[in-house]
Amino acid sequence: MIKTKEDYIESLKKQKLNVYYKGKHVDDVTTHPALIPHINAAAKTYELALRPESEDLLTVTSHLTGKKISRFTHIHQSVEDLIKKVLMLRLISHETGSCYQRCVGFDAMNALYSTTYEIDEVKGTSYFKRFVEFLKYIQSENLMVVGGMTDPKGDRSKRPGEQSDPDLFTHVVEKREDGIVIRGAKAHMTGSINSHQILIMPTQNMAKGDEAYAVAAAIPLNAPGITLIFGRQSNEERKLEDGIDAGNKEFGVVGGEALIIFEDVLVPWDRVFMCGEIDFSGLMVERFATLHRQNYGGCKGGVSDIIIGATALAAQYQGTANASHIKDKLVEMMHLTETVYAGSIACSAMGSKTKSGAYYPDPLLANCTKHNITRNIYEISRLAHDIAGGIMATLPFDQDLRSPEIGKHVKKYLASVEGVPTETRMKILRLLENMTGGTCLVESMHGAGPPQSQRIMYQRLGNLPQKIKMAKVLAGIDN
């Protein structure tokens, strides 16, 4: 069982994933400088579970075994569980300032738990029993699971079964006595190069003709036929350097996303949790999306706390902290942060029990939370850029600062408030640059679905007819 950071790293060393970075095979993900920050961020979830002051948020008693487990392997059993999840995410963000990657798998497990129960209820299948056994295994070993929903999708005007290349959506190519064979890919998978298992799910609502694409299953990431291609990130080359230019060198930028390729991968039947049930694919997508959108006020709220602190420091270091407009902008950043956090708490507090007994956030409020993220994080970052100034984008290299020939010029001309070393000022500006640009913002926009996905849910869940009816009553309109 994985308990410590060291246990976690050793488990990654042993599993020997087929990972590529910049076209070259990575023999050991735990020693590659571009991957280490993401491993460190995920490892923090194991470390915090061992601290007495955070144990209550990071651990919980399993409703299946009665044993103490990581909350990241837990199925929500109450509204309190949903709220503690959000509190936990904000806490870990304070420690890492980055994505710690276990949320997607966490949400996938909760989505599958409730959905498989309801599939079995209607279809007479045994998916729920299979999934519970898988979940017990994950809990007992404290493994890291990556959720695999997003497919490349190809021509988005066509359904999965209409694509000229069927592999652009992950699908079943063969059903055998010992299991199913799958082919395709999952894109943008957060934490995949340092996880142990992947839970694949349908990427969208399926229709007649899409049966092969309505598949959910658990697969070890070192299974034969799986290849992981690590994605580029903003300033990723800086992780290969020494010095301060990386900004957040210990924990990286976002979540170490990868493209995961499945080339005729065999999945035993006891790890298959949906296979052809197109009428339940939409429910599974909605369950996962709601659970994942619930998170963002917690994790992004925590990250925004760091951005606010770094912005305030940048203002202090350059002597503008007492200006009224700077104070007002910092207050606005706090307001935006607490607004998204309040959304996560609200959708959790308004959560309800599913047929399986697991609890589920209020879907309308969860979508509202994520939609606010797609706006507020950009505004928080814009205000950080406004306060920090243009120097954040044009700082000299760390090597310039340390150069025997020109270092003196960097120190002299980038000096600011007396008593604050130039290097200190550069450190906080690099951290801000790292946390407020490029990959970070794109992830805030598209992680858990782009804004249009949430607006579609508003149309479905907003109950416009009821709002019209209430208005008619008050206006005295009878028809």
DSSP for 409-456, please give it. Answer: HHHHHT--STT--HHHHHHHHHHHHHHSSTHHHHHHHHTTS-HHHHHH
Of 281, 315, 335, the residue at which a domain comes to its end is 281
As for how many domains the chain has, the answer is 2
- Is 89 part of any domain? no
| Same domain (yes/no): 385, 269 | no
Tokens of 471: 């208005």
Residue type, 100: Y
Average pLDDT (382-390) is 96
| Same domain (yes/no): 353, 245 | no
- Is 158 part of any domain? yes
pLDDT at 441 over 90: no
Q: Residue 139: which of 51, 30, 230, 61 has the closest Cα?
A: 61
Task: Quickly count: other Cβ atoms within 10 Å of residue 158's Cβ.
Answer: 13
SS3 label, residue 401:
helix
Catalytic pick among 103, 347, 368, 440:
103
Is 354 part of the annotated catalytic residue set? no
Catalytic pick among 275, 299, 347, 368:
299
Is 99 part of the annotated catalytic residue set? yes
| Same domain (yes/no): 240, 318 | no
Catalytic pick among 59, 190, 311, 422:
190
- Is 91 part of any domain? no
Is 296 part of the annotated catalytic residue set? yes
The whole-angstrom separation of Cα 440 and Cα 5 is: 25
The whole-angstrom separation of Cα 457 and Cα 363 is: 8
Buried b / exposed e along 256-294 (16+ C-beta atoms within 10 A): bbbbbbbeebebeeebbbbbbbbebbebbbbbbbbbbbb
Q: Which helix (H) or strand (E) holds 36?
A: helix 36-48
Task: DSSP letter for 478, please.
Answer: -
The structure's pTM equals 0.94
Q: Which residues contact 337 (CB under 8 A, 6 or more apart)?
A: 301, 304, 305, 308, 376, 380
pLDDT at 440 over 80: no
Tokens of 220: 């070890």
| Same domain (yes/no): 74, 212 | yes
Domain that holds residue 391: 290-462
Tokens of 160: 């999965």
| Same domain (yes/no): 453, 314 | yes
Residue type, 142: N
Q: What is the CATH number of the domain that holds 59?
A: 2.40.110.10
Is 379 part of the annotated catalytic residue set? no
pLDDT at 447 over 90: no
pLDDT tens for residues 290-311?
Answer: 999 999 999 999 999 999 999 9
| Same domain (yes/no): 234, 301 | no
The whole-angstrom separation of Cα 441 and Cα 381 is: 9
Q: Name the H helices within 55-202.
A: 55-58, 79-96, 103-123, 127-141
Tokens of 13: 């060393």
SS3 label, residue 200:
strand
pLDDT score recorded for residue 254: 78
Q: Which residues contact 477 (CB under 8 A, 6 or more apart)?
A: none
pLDDT score recorded for residue 159: 94
- Is 58 part of any domain? yes
| Same domain (yes/no): 301, 277 | no
pLDDT score recorded for residue 253: 77
| Mean residue pLDDT across the chain | 95
Catalytic pick among 257, 277, 286, 433:
257
Of 221, 256, 281, the residue at which a domain comes to its end is 281
- Is 365 part of any domain? yes
Catalytic pick among 292, 337, 436, 440:
292
Average pLDDT (158-163) is 94
The whole-angstrom separation of Cα 268 and Cα 181 is: 9
pLDDT tens for residues 339-361?
Answer: 999 999 999 999 999 999 999 99
- Is 177 part of any domain? yes
- Is 198 part of any domain? yes
pLDDT tens for residues 398-432?
Answer: 999 999 999 999 999 999 999 999 999 999 999 99
Residue 233 has, within 13 A of its CA and on its CB side, a CA count of: 30
pLDDT at 448 over 80: no
| Same domain (yes/no): 332, 219 | no
Catalytic pick among 8, 100, 296, 341:
296
Is 299 part of the annotated catalytic residue set? yes
Q: Which helix (H) or strand (E) holds 258?
A: strand 258-268
| Same domain (yes/no): 241, 320 | no
Catalytic pick among 99, 275, 368, 440:
99
The whole-angstrom separation of Cα 217 and Cα 458 is: 30
- Is 88 part of any domain? no
pLDDT at 23 over 80: yes
Q: What is the CATH number of the domain that holds 301?
A: 1.20.140.10
| Same domain (yes/no): 344, 417 | yes
* Terminal Cα distance for the chain, rounded: 65
| Same domain (yes/no): 74, 200 | yes
| Same domain (yes/no): 324, 244 | no
Distances (CA, A) of 354 to 5, 205, 301, 455: 35, 20, 28, 24
Of 281, 312, 327, the residue at which a domain comes to its end is 281
Is 250 part of the annotated catalytic residue set? no
Average pLDDT (226-247) is 88
